[in-house]
Amino acid sequence: MTQQIRVGLFGTGRIGQVHAMSLATLDEATLSWVCDPFIEGAKQTAAEFGGRVSEDPDEVFASGEIDAVIVASPTATHLDLVEKAIDANVPVLCEKPIDLDIARVDALRGKVAASGVPVALGFNKRFDRHFVELKRRVAAGEIGALEQLVITSRDPGEPPAAYLPQSGGIFRDMTIHDLDMARYFIPQIVEVSANGANVFSDSIRHADDFDSTVVTLRGSKDELVTILNSRHSAFGYDQRIEAFGSTGLLHVGNKNDNMVRHWGARSVESVGPYQNFFLERYAEAYRLEVAEFLRAVRGLPSRSPGFDDGRAALILADAAEKSARTGAAIAVDLG
């Protein structure tokens, strides 16, 4: 039997709980340490999923009892914890965004590359089996040359007002997932245009952020990507991708909990609501994301997006923010 990988978890908020649950489903891993300044959260997580607890990341890294770490703490802590993992020669899976300051990311980039330590970024949508199948069929030439990509991502409801000041804004907090998905299909993006609006949320407006956005990306071969985002959706978590090519179209629609349809006097083909939250829609993707990271921990080939993918997504998010504020199209270099 292969020895279990001992994993340390930083952060026990909503996304930390998701990763703890994912680890619990994987026979090859065990939760060894749980670290959070909010020690009660760490204790509660450890009580449910196992592991020792600490308020101090240095204690976790010095323990000698971890083979990998997952960083699910607030964004402001991400880069420092990634660097600590590199210094300890411990592979790390870090949630997005890698940081809110591209200068800080670039300052660490050389050290990450020189270390050889696996650094994976938490872009879970790359592991959704429907999107993976869409990508495979596009790459196989099923619709000819890819010309247009439309990514729709709308949350069922806006985030808490207290979260907004630390979120980095909609482009770095929400759109960044879709910017990474755009690069999953079209790696070389050269231009970003964006529009933002405030159409329903006073709390988001007061935070000087947008509740609705449209982003257009141009690829190096003149492919066009349109990303539609909203902080609310009356009909549930809206997650769709459409790929249009020279010989056809491929589309991934929203998921229902079941596929039963109803025909009656007042409606036809009526179905239940779409899954209403990212925890439902992407539960399998999160588990596969962690499983793929563990392959890298074992030294096996891995499809996990890396540090440079996180950097590229942040560059695109910064460009979208600048474009939405200025009205200008922003040229980007992801090299």
Distance in angstroms (rounded) separating the CA atoms of residues 78 and 86: 12
Which stretches of the chain drop beneath a pLDDT of 70?
1-2, 257-260, 269, 271, 273-279
Closest CA to 191 of 173, 178, 175, 179: 179
Return the structure tokens found at 267. 């409606």
Q: What is the pLDDT of residue 263?
A: 76
Q: Which pLDDT does position 1 carry in this prediction?
A: 38
Buried b (16+ CB within 10 A) or exposed e, 180-219: bbbbbbbeebebbbbebeeeebebbeebebbbbbbbbbbb
- Residue 267 has a pLDDT of 77
pLDDT for residue 264:
73
- Domains of the chain: residue spans and CATH: 5-117 (3.40.50.720), 125-282+305-331 (3.30.360.10)
